Structure 1
Amino acid sequence: MTILVVGGTGELGGRVAGLLHQQGKEVRCLVRPGSDDKRLRALGIEVTRGDLTDPAGLPAACAGITAVVATATVIGRRLAGARRPTIHEVDEVGMTALVSAADQADVERFVGGPEAISRNEAVAIAEQATGRTFKTRHLPRAAARLGMRLLARPNDALASIFGTGLLQDLVESRSDDSALRLRGITPTAASEFIRSQSLG
């Protein structure tokens, strides 16, 4: 069983890859060109170069894989000031291409991160990306809507955080895994998957 971790140079993906490797699992990490993969290689984890914004390289990354753990997101880079790629290009189009590549490679399981993050998680991401400390307060819905509109063009990452907070205030957050189920891929929560690997 070989597990592909997408986002292995990130905070969450790095922890997942390391934990799975410690448990004796075969791990391959999809790493963007130019990203520092020294820590992964030092652990003996296989690294393959590729990018969610380049769908042509994803089938090779998924070849021979039993499960995909997708933790990659562009929000941290966007909060740090990167102008490209956009959230749409990575978190939507790129993840869709990854699901398609996994489907073509007959991957049995696809583990994705939660679609919505809590206010505390959003603040932690913002603090890590900017180096600043933020206080968590309840933001009025009107202010969240205004923040989304004002930031949509110049900073889609911050606009997404406003939107996530607003969404969680309005409706109960539920993951929609219908795209995976239609392809015959059984979705699994990341925490459940990691727990099952440590028991097996």
Structure 2
Amino acid sequence: MIDLEQGNQIFDYFQQCISNNQDPIIKYGQAKILEGKETYIKVPQFSSRGPNSFAPEILKPNIAALGVNILAAYPSHLGGDNGFKLMSGTSMAAPHVAEIVALLKAAHPDWSPAAIRSALTTTAWNEDTYETEIYAEGTGGKLANPFDFGGGICNPNGAADPGLIYDMEKNDYSNYLCSLGYS
């Protein structure tokens, strides 16, 4: 998030580029808190929570990813401002995870989907990068737990070299479903 003054500067720059027939260029780097209140990572109120009602022993969700106020491409005729809109939800978090999965598959072409999920889940962060707790919105400010964020927040670099992965095959899934009474 940025404040109003920074937003106005970006907007003015964008308008200036458009009026001068130039392509606006925005460069960004690692986020830092320069001034203002310290912020905490929160699992948003709209986020799906566990346990899994079908099989409570399966962690739900698997992992958490950025999905609040993401600047997304959005058609102008549907309300996008110059082709963009701030959006929130699973539809914003899923592309972050899909990109990480694609990078992991490129780095480890022999990994199965279960191995990739294992690498993501076992290396996820359970606290933010400032080593503060993760909170759950909409629950009176309680600390988040695995039923709120799954294994934690995606850690792409950790998942690339997890040390140990748990793999599963088709028969493992079939055996599990059979143990629940499915034939």
Q: TM-score, normalised by structure 2?
A: 0.23
Q: TM-score, normalised by structure 1?
A: 0.22
More strand, by proportion: 1
More helix, by proportion: 1
